[in-house]
Amino acid sequence: MARSIPTIVICAIGISTLSACGGGGGGGGGGSGFSATDGRTGPPREATYETLASTAPGRSPFGGTAIRLQDNDDSAEIVRNSGRIDRDTGQVVLRDDLYTFNDPDGGDSDGAFRDRNGAVFDTSDDRITSQDYEYVTIYAGEYRVGTQDYTLLGSAGIVTRTGTMPTVGRAQYKGDALVTLGRSNGSVVGLLDGDSTIDADFAAGSVDVTLDSFDQSLDGNTGQSVSAPLDRITISDMAISGNGYSGGRIAALNNGRAVNLVGGITSESAEGTFYGYDDSILAPDETAGQVIQAGRSGALIGVWIAD
């Protein structure tokens, strides 16, 4: 069967373990990417968060967002998910509005998790990131509901508790970005090894995202270097709610000028989540999210993860 444009876009990333792409069924952490403005006010909100690599007994809340694609269809959407990590047993639970993924005893040595229904949660492909992250990871996934298969590209981790989210000050997160563009004629362009800059204004409750400075531009079908029709995506004035942020104005740009690469836009959305906590600056330690812009002649997908 023919694959949809969004599914082709995700498969172009090269995550071949997913059956939708023709395949089979964090530790460390650099703090140099984070900076915050001075002059914060209010009482300290110190919080203890176990990292993804922690082996300390207990459980941690686990969640995030993902681009979910309905295979053999042109529909794509960003969904929120939530669950837990049980460090005593290795169990990972992650649920969205359609499916609950449950690996009872943890993943393999490469970071691939599978449940008893054949669903996959795969964190093994590290080509999206250039540094280690303590609280969040990028993953590809797939599951089936009834006779319908779904493919996912998302971020999940130890979410920041809403009670420790700051309400004053600003912070800037810097990290990695990936953008892919698929068109109805079958062409796919992947922009790899990019930078992400996320500016959070906690007092105003807003977030701005910039994805740019891509080192590689590849043809998703041949793997050859090509000239990309865009070099930046911006998402302005996303609204913070709890430990997440969403909405905003999405723009694709090339040499500073706005470009429409997907034809008449039929849907677009952007969502992100804050992860962990840094006691020294009284704010979340990391963040990650996704953007999708779909139109009559193509789909544009972006992913960011930052510290």
pLDDT digits (tens, 9 = 90+) for 117-162: 999 998 876 666 667 899 999 999 999 999 999 999 999 999 999 9
pLDDT tens-digit map of 203-258: 999 999 999 999 989 888 888 999 999 999 999 999 999 999 999 999 999 999 99
Per residue, the 3-state secondary structure of 182-196, as one string, reads EECCCCEEEEEEEEE
55: tokens are 């082996």
Q: What confidence score (pLDDT) does residue 10 get?
A: 53
pLDDT tens-digit map of 75-120: 789 999 999 999 999 999 999 999 999 999 988 888 889 999 999 9
Residue 275 has pLDDT above 90, yes or no: yes
Q: What confidence score (pLDDT) does residue 2 get?
A: 38
Average pLDDT for the chain: 84
CA 126 to chain centre: 13
Cα distance between residue 81 and residue 95, in whole Å: 5
pLDDT tens-digit map of 165-190: 999 999 999 999 999 998 888 888 98
Q: How confident is the model at residue 33 (pLDDT cuts 50, 70, 90)?
A: very low
Q: How confident is the model at residue 66 (pLDDT cuts 50, 70, 90)?
A: very high
Buried b (16+ CB within 10 A) or exposed e, 268-285: bbbbbbbbbbbeebbbbb
pTM: 0.86
Residue 270 has pLDDT above 60, yes or no: yes
Cα distance between residue 307 and residue 192, in whole Å: 18
Q: What confidence score (pLDDT) does residue 25 get?
A: 43
Phi, psi of 165, rounded to the nearest 5 degrees = -70, 130
Q: How confident is the model at residue 11 (pLDDT cuts 50, 70, 90)?
A: low
Radius of gyration of the chain (CA): 18
Q: Which amino acid is at 38?
A: D
**Closest to 135 in 3D by CA, of 61, 74, 222, 244:** 61
Cα distance between residue 240 and residue 204, in whole Å: 9
Q: Half-sphere exposure of 223 toward its Cβ, with a 13 Å CA cutoff?
A: 1
Q: What confidence score (pLDDT) does residue 130 get?
A: 67
For the chain, which domains are there?
5-39+50-306 (2.40.160.90)
